[in-house]
Amino acid sequence: TRLARRRSIKVSLGGWETERERKIPRKMAGVNKCIKYSMFFFNFLFWLCGSIILGVSIWLRVGKNAGKVSGVNIVEFYPAINLLITVGSIVMVLGFLGCCGAMKESKCMLILFFIGLLLILVLQITAGILGALYTPQIATVINDTYKEYIPLSTQTDTVKKEIEEMQQENKCCGLLNGYKDWEHSIPTSCNCTHDDQDHPCAKIPGRSVWAQSCVDVMIDILKANCIIIIGIAFGLAVIEIFGLAFSMTLYCQIKNK
């Protein structure tokens, strides 16, 4: 009948349309511009920080006037400077990969950036855990190192001069046991000029000297610096996590584009 034929034609046409729809790819969502440019800006700052670290480190390593400007013997700090050169180079490469990966929408660059940043984050967390575990041993190591200098009165003039400079700068006296480390020849660098909570004085016959030993002052400084380093590391970890999130989100959007 005519009605049956019309239904047959309609069904066949419907099937043809369905097949056609399967062959035509759906329009996927594009890359989020906000994430893309946020990723670029983040990595540009990352690259800039790496450039500054690398530039200053190379200048300290090879510059002829670096020691004169800083006023210290730079040679003693070459291992730390070499480490900074390595860190600066890695940060620059990662920043470059992130910038190019974001602007060119390159999945390869973004995944390399993600892996590199993840490795840095893992190493950073590992270093933080090891630092926290070994921090209590700092005092023991320093005490063992300076035991050989006691009594101070028997040391060479060069060693005595260095210790006296340290005493004047840090308002301390002696290394481990205060003024007793000098026995009967306490230098004038131990003289206490003012008594306060941070730098207390100790009374001895005829004079006042700094009560704190220099090793105690050094340990306090190291502990304070450790807190600062932990704070900086925590801030960097937060930034790195944002970088990982941006890169993976952008990678997934490019993949599904």
- Note down pLDDT in tens along the chain; length 257 residues: 554 455 554 445 455 444 444 444 444 456 778 888 888 888 888 888 888 888 887 887 776 554 444 444 555 567 767 777 888 888 888 888 888 888 888 888 889 989 988 988 888 788 778 777 777 777 787 788 888 888 888 888 888 888 898 888 888 999 888 889 998 888 989 998 877 777 888 888 888 899 899 888 888 887 777 777 777 777 778 888 888 888 888 888 888 87
- Within 10 angstroms of residue 217's Cβ, the number of other Cβ atoms is 19
Peptide bond into 151 cis (omega under 30): yes
Residue 83 within any structural domain of the chain: yes
User: What integer pLDDT is reported at residue 75 of this predicted model?
Assistant: 59
Q: Which of 147, 174, 171, 142 is nearest to 160 (CA)?
A: 174
H/E element, 122: helix 107-134
User: What integer pLDDT is reported at residue 77 of this predicted model?
Assistant: 61
SS3 assignment, position 152: helix
Indicate yes or no: pTM above 0.95: no
- Bridge partners (DSSP) of residue 207 are 204
Residue 101 within any structural domain of the chain: yes
**Residues 156, 162, 163, 164: what is their CA dihedral angle, to the nearest 10 degrees?**
100
Cα first-last separation, the chain? 49
Q: Which of 40, 38, 57 is nearest to 95 (CA)?
A: 40
210 backbone dihedrals φ, ψ, rounded to 5°: -65, 135
Residue 52 within any structural domain of the chain: yes
Residue 50 within any structural domain of the chain: yes
What total number of domains does the chain contain?
A: 1
User: What integer pLDDT is reported at residue 76 of this predicted model?
Assistant: 55
Q: Which of 109, 57, 105 is nearest to 78 (CA)?
A: 57
Q: How far is CA 56 from CA 65, 74, 88, 130, 222, in A?
A: 13, 13, 10, 28, 24
User: What integer pLDDT is reported at residue 5 of this predicted model?
Assistant: 53
Residue 89 within any structural domain of the chain: yes
SS3 assignment, position 208: strand
User: What integer pLDDT is reported at residue 224 of this predicted model?
Assistant: 77
Residue 250 within any structural domain of the chain: no
174 and 166 in contact (C-beta within 8 Å)?
A: no
Residue 41 within any structural domain of the chain: yes
| Helix 157-170, helix 214-255: angle, nearest 10 | 70
Tell me which residue range forms the domain holding 59.
31-105
CA distance 227 to 225: 5
The tally of CA atoms less than 13 A away on the side-chain side of residue 29 is 6
